[in-house]
């Protein structure tokens, strides 16, 4: 089997398993924080939920490029295995946290040690022709989407049967299994360099990448787009609770809590369904028309949908618009990686992917914190989870327009993506 195809078949299941594990507990993390630590004040809950949700990707965004640079020197396979084992170990300890601050610290450690997507995708793309990277990366995103689709439902059932703490141990087991699968199945011959030269080489490679004006602006715009996409994610479950579950779902469930968990799971699952259906199509469009043009259209359309979502009155309306937004967002990750892949040297691909991933994780981390600031009203006012939709819409519109400007800039310079 061709080495690139062999590694693709090794990486795909690992991304599926790890994504399913993470999405088993992340959608209901705010409820876990509320129940575990008996937080009744909505404003306090919004701050803790947003911070605990976002601190892991924030730390991963800061440290991720170092792991990426190390992956380019000692191998992508060891970095992918290390990241999955780190997720397994830290998640297993989270139910033992006695205070929100301790849980926050555990999530921070997880972020520092994790970062499994960039090395895994770089490993799969290593032997593939550049012209096929859009479709290949899109198919890997489909693996993550499949895991993200099943995760919330598996988590809802596991929580009903064994309690919310069991979700963390489920995630740990799936991440450990993903690491073992990569160890057995992935193939790579790493090029080992002198350890003493790593930092110097890392700084040199980073300067070379960031000296590329188009790549540097791409990172900024990816950050803006991800901020808009992720502002509401930790509060979706709280928003769903305010809207209430569908009557038919409530009639089928033995408890109201299970009905609410399944409704929240549905709100997250539609994102995964859309990724399964549309990610590869976005990849093909990127290979045909250019990823920057596609990212520009994506950002502008998404801004309109998010602005409309701020006015929903029922859960059905919310799920309909969220499904539409999901179809648009399905291509964002694959398009960003494809845009980067076409602008960087093969020697620095893992580092470049890690920088893109860091921008996504910064959006994943800072978005919820920005959402919490927007949602919290004045003294004595209840949290308003509609207001952040409008801010998110503005950020996505800015990112979309910026992508189209960047494409025109590269076209004028004869370096179109």
pLDDT score at 182? 86
Which pLDDT tens digit goes with each residue over 51-86? 888 788 888 878 877 787 777 777 788 888 888 999
Q: Flag residues of the chain having pLDDT under 70.
A: 1-5, 127-134, 189-199, 234, 245, 249, 343-347, 377-383, 411-417
Chain position carrying tokens 């609410």 = 260
Closest CA to 287 of 402, 128, 395: 128
How many other CB atoms are found less than 10 A from the CB of residue 212? 16
Cβ(116)–Cβ(84) under 8 Å? yes
Cβ(95)–Cβ(107) under 8 Å? no
Does residue 75 fall inside a structural domain?
yes
pLDDT score at 398? 94
Contacts of 126 (CB under 8 A, 6+ apart): 3, 4, 7, 76, 188, 349
Contacts of 15 (CB under 8 A, 6+ apart): 116, 117, 120, 140, 143, 144, 147, 178
CATH label of the domain that carries residue 205: 1.20.1250.20
How many Å apart are CA 371 and CA 367, to the nearest integer?
6
pLDDT score at 132? 63
Expressed as residue numbers, the domain containing 375 is 3-412
Which parts of 231-329 fold into alpha helices (H)?
236-243, 247-252, 256-289, 291-309, 315-329
Does residue 417 fall inside a structural domain?
no
How many Å apart are CA 407 and CA 416, to the nearest integer?
6
- Please tell me the total count of domains within the chain: 1
Does residue 392 fall inside a structural domain?
yes
Rounded alpha-carbon distances, angstroms, from residue 297 to 131, 220, 239, 252: 21, 17, 28, 40
Is the pTM for the entire model greater than 0.75? no
Does residue 272 fall inside a structural domain?
yes
Which pLDDT tens digit goes with each residue over 290-343? 888 888 999 999 999 999 988 888 878 888 888 898 888 888 887 888 887 776
């Amino acid at each position: 089997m061709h080495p690139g195809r062999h590694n693709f078949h090794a990486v795909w299941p690992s991304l599926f398993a790890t994504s399913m594990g993470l999405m088993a507990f992340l959608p209901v993390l705010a409820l876990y924080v509320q129940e575990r630590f008996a937080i009744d004040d909505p404003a306090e809950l919004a701050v803790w939920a947003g911070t605990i949700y976002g601190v892991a990707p924030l730390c991963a965004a800061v440290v991720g490029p170092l792991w990426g640079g190390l992956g380019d020197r000692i191998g992508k396979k060891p970095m992918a295995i290390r990241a999955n084992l780190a997720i397994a170990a830290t998640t297993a300890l989270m139910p033992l946290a006695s205070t929100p601050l301790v849980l926050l610290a555990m999530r921070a450690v997880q972020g520092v040690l994790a970062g499994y997507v960039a090395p895994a995708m770089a490993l799969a793309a290593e032997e593939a022709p550049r012209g096929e990277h859009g479709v290949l990366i899109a198919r890997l995103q489909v693996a993550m989407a499949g895991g993200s689709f099943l995760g919330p439902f598996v988590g809802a059932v596991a929580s009903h049967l064994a309690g919310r703490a069991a979700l963390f141990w489920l995630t740990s087991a799936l991440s450990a299994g993903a690491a073992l699968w990569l160890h057995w199945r992935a193939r790579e011959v790493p090029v080992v360099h002198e350890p003493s030269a790593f930092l110097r080489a890392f700084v040199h490679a980073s300067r070379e990448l960031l000296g590329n004006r188009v790549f540097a602006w791409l990172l900024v715009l990816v950050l803006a787009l991800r901020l808009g996409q992720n502002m509401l994610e930790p509060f979706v479950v709280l928003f769903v609770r305010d809207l209430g579950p569908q009557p038919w779902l409530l009639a089928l469930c033995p408890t109201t809590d299970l009905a609410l968990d399944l409704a929240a799971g549905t709100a997250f699952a539609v994102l995964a369904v859309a990724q399964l259906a549309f990610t590869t199509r976005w990849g093909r469009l990127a290979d045909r028309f250019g990823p920057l043009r596609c990212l520009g259209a994506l950002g502008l359309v998404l801004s309109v949908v998010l602005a409309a979502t701020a006015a929903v009155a029922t859960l059905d309306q919310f799920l309909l618009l969220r499904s539409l937004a999901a179809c648009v967002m399905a291509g964002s990750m694959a398009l960003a990686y494809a845009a980067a892949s076409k602008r960087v040297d093969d020697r620095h691909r893992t580092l470049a992917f890690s920088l893109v991933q860091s921008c996504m994780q910064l959006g994943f981390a800072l978005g919820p914190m920005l959402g919490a600031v927007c949602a919290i009203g004045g003294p004595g006012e209840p949290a308003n989870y509609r207001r952040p939709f409008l801010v998110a819409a503005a950020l996505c519109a800015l990112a979309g327009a910026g992508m189209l400007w960047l494409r025109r800039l590269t076209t004028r310079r004869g370096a179109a993506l």
